[in-house]
Amino acid sequence: MAEMSSGRRLVGEMISEAMAMFIIIALGDSAACMFTLYDPSPYKQAYWGVCIAWGLAVTIAIYVTGAVSGTHANPAVTLALAVFRGFSWKKVIPYCAAQVAGAFLGAAVVYLMFGPVIDHFNLVHHLSRAGDGGAAGVFFTHPGEEITPLHALMDQVILTAFLMLAIFAITEEWNTVAPMANSGALIIGLLVALIGASAGYLEAWALNPARDFGPRLFAFLAGWGPQALPSPGNYWWVPIAGPLIGGLVGAGAYQGLIRPYLPPRSQRKEQQAEPSTASNG
């Protein structure tokens, strides 16, 4: 096969990143619709089902697109890789734009499927899109009970730091206890589900600027207007800034506190041949 030009390769990578976010949002926001719009909800007494749905959406996205672009599927990941892992700065903006575009299209498909159910939900509960933000939570995130925007910013920094710390560990080629081969995709999906199960009710665990902004932009154009942008309390920027900061914090923590103390390369082959004793106490 002839070698691709750098321009054609970048186009393919952007399509891959858009497709990854399309998969994540189309499936993840559909799970949010199932949780929110139906009474009784199939998930009300089984919130873990929503978490695992989001996590498996991430896993599937990685399996579909990982060989093309590495499946960043998150501007926070792209930025952290550029800062700490040598990812090309020239690709940061194209990757991020593709991720937002894919999330926008994913939200459009969710609306195409669940639009009548959204309208029925708002009618039954006497809500409107632009006035009350009826059912907006199926598309984008917002603070939970007693959570202010500034507190949400702190939460998103902390949670995304956990996400990036773990992603860097899972994908570290010299980490002898990291998942082998393609099983890393499943572990990253379970990681996303774990964060949702641990703290999702705070503000719906955005962790990803594209995951929030793409659907938020779609909802703005689909009739939610100011409830989406700038949103009550001018909240729209929090799920963008928080994950970007948190991603750098988590990646920096791994690079500075863990990576320098990995076993010397001469010992790694020996350790890879031995079973891990980490779970034996």
* Amino acid 251: pLDDT: 98
* Amino acid 274: pLDDT: 52
* Amino acid 266: pLDDT: 52
* pTM of the model as a whole: 0.92
* Amino acid 173: pLDDT: 87
pLDDT in tens, 117-127: 999 999 999 99
Low-confidence ranges of the chain (pLDDT < 70): 1-2, 265-281
The residue among 143, 156, 6 whose CA lies nearest residue 74 is: 156
* Amino acid 42: pLDDT: 84
pLDDT in tens, 47-100: 999 999 999 999 999 999 999 999 999 999 999 999 999 999 999 999 999 999
